[in-house]
């Protein structure tokens, strides 16, 4: 198996509510022209994130409801400390729940955590010792 991650898929109880949160509240743009009635996809700086209807996924996957994302925290690295505060304000305005307010952490990080409307946890972080560009893996060479 290749060492790669193709997508982060988050189950949601109410797809329309999630779309309002991400698209209207956080100003994310859905990916692609065709929109499924069961899911919506977003390309977040090269990472595909799919919000999928929880009941639909239970029926498709055979995985019992209640399994999943509690052990996963999605992380967004930002360019500066002010952006962390700006995103925190956007999250609150959009209806997200801040579970740990923006603060300085170990290693000089400035970060906060929040839950989206379905309880999926996110961290927004600024690392003064590493630019956003340094945090991205180098592009793979398709010719190799």
- Can you tell me the mean pLDDT for 32-40? 83
Give the residue among 118, 127, 25, 27 at the shortest CA–CA distance from 76. Answer: 127
Q: What integer is the mean pLDDT of 59-77?
A: 69
Share of the chain above pLDDT 70, in %: 80
Name, in order, each residue with C-beta under 8 angstroms of 59's C-beta and a sequence gap of 6 or more.
Answer: none
Pairing status of strand 47-53 against strand 39-44: antiparallel
pLDDT of residue 87: 95
- Stated as kind and residue range, the H or E segment containing 84 is helix 81-94
What is the structure's pLDDT at 72? 72
Q: Which domains does the chain have, with CATH numbers?
A: 7-133 (3.10.180.10)
Provide the pLDDT confidence category of residue 22 given band limits of 50, 70 and 90: very high
Segment 77-92 shows an average pLDDT of: 95
Is the pLDDT at 102 greater than 90? The verdict is yes
Q: What angle do CA 86, 92, 94 make, to 5 degrees?
A: 100
Which strand (E) or helix (H) includes residue 60?
helix 54-61
Average pLDDT over residues 95-121: 90
Mean pLDDT of the chain: 83
Please say whether the beta carbons of 47 and 8 come within 8 A: yes
Count how many Cα atoms sit within 13 Å of the Cα of residue 46 in the half-sphere of its side chain.
12
């Amino acid at each position: 198996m290749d060492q790669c991650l193709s997508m982060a898929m988050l189950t949601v109880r109410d797809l329309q509510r999630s779309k309002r949160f991400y698209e209207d509240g956080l100003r994310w743009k859905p990916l692609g022209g065709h929109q499924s009635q069961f899911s919506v996809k977003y390309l977040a700086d090269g990472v595909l994130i799919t919000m999928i209807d929880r009941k639909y996924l239970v029926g498709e996957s055979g995985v019992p409801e209640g399994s999943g994302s509690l052990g996963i925290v999605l992380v967004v690295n930002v360019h500066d400390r002010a952006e962390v505060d700006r995103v925190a304000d956007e999250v609150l305005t959009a209806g997200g729940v801040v579970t740990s307010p923006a603060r300085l952490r170990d290693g000089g990080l400035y970060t906060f955590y929040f839950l989206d409307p379905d309880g999926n946890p996110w961290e927004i972080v600024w690392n003064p010792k590493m630019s956003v560009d340094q945090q991205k893996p180098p592009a793979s060479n398709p010719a190799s």
